[in-house]
Structure 1
Amino acid sequence: MAPKAREELVVPYRHVPAKARKDAGSLISQSLPMAAMFMKNKMLSWAALFLSIQTYLNEPINKVEEDGSQPPLLKVVFALVAVLTCYIDIIFPQTNPSIKKAADVATEITSTIVSTATS
């Protein structure tokens, strides 16, 4: 049997959390959904969703809270809203007749220009 340690030599354990690192992925996952919503770019919105999920999964458990930082779950919800914003035209299609008429006129002009240029 191993000898018991003397009590005056025992040092109690004190946990010191690791210092927070500046993470570029967190910055990108916070700003990319807004860019996707402004541009209505589906690829950006999906990339924002995957990056925010990755940031959420890589978030340390014992992270020191910083001022002005969003919680990781809020970043995921924000990216999900960006994806839904890009696909809102499928749910609520635009039925404005003047827009449809303008698109038809533009298509007709383009087709006549192309046909005259090729002949």
Structure 2
Amino acid sequence: MASKKDMRRADLVIPYVDPPKQNSDADMSGAMSSTMPMAAMFTRNRMIGWVSLVFSLQSWLAETPEQRKTANTPAYMSIFMSLMALIVTYLPLFLPPPAARSSATAAGSQAPSQ
């Protein structure tokens, strides 16, 4: 029965203390919300444009007062950029690009060979 006795000593217990949060921690959602609109405009991919809008809204809503003070650009600018990315990706639906004239005229204007 002596082996089932609690051998822990209360005087040796060290309480857990959370480590202090460092200011140098990278803000991944902020980085994603600022780079994804550029990727959407470059690739003209509509899905990336919509995902960038969602990321931008989430980063704006989750912004802390400390992030507002230290950020170079406000979070609503990333929302503006993602909206511009959506406009750029949907622009060919409303303003279709002109047809390639060189290939169409080259095939149709050739003189028949005799």
TM bucket by the smaller chain?
Answer: 0.5 to 0.7
Residues 31-85 of structure 1: per-residue CA shift (max 9 Å, x gap): 1100110000111111001000000000013535236x22100000000000110
User: Residues 19, 82 of structure 1: CA spacing in aligned structure 2 closer, same or farther, 3 A cutoff?
Assistant: same
Alpha-carbon offset, residue 90 of structure 1: 1.2
Residue 64 of structure 2 aligns with which residue?
Answer: 60
Residue 39 of structure 2 aligns with which residue?
Answer: 35
Is 2:100 the partner of 1:76?
no
Equivalent AA in structure 2 for residue 28 of structure 1: M
Residue 101 of structure 2 aligns with which residue?
Answer: 98
User: Residues 51, 88 of structure 1: CA spacing in aligned structure 2 closer, same or farther, 3 A cutoff?
Assistant: same
User: Residues 92, 50 of structure 1: CA spacing in aligned structure 2 closer, same or farther, 3 A cutoff?
Assistant: same
Which runs of no fewer than 5 residues in structure 2 stay unpaired?
A: 1-20, 106-114
TM-score (norm 1): 0.60
Q: SS in structure 2 opposite 1:63?
A: helix
- Check whether the contact 2:45–2:89 (CA below 8 A) recurs between aligned residues: yes
Is 2:88 the partner of 1:88?
no
What is the aligned-residue identity percentage? 25
Number of aligned pairs? 84
TM-score (norm 2): 0.62
Which runs of no fewer than 5 residues in structure 1 stay unpaired?
A: 1-17, 103-119
Larger radius of gyration: 2
Is 2:48 the partner of 1:44?
yes
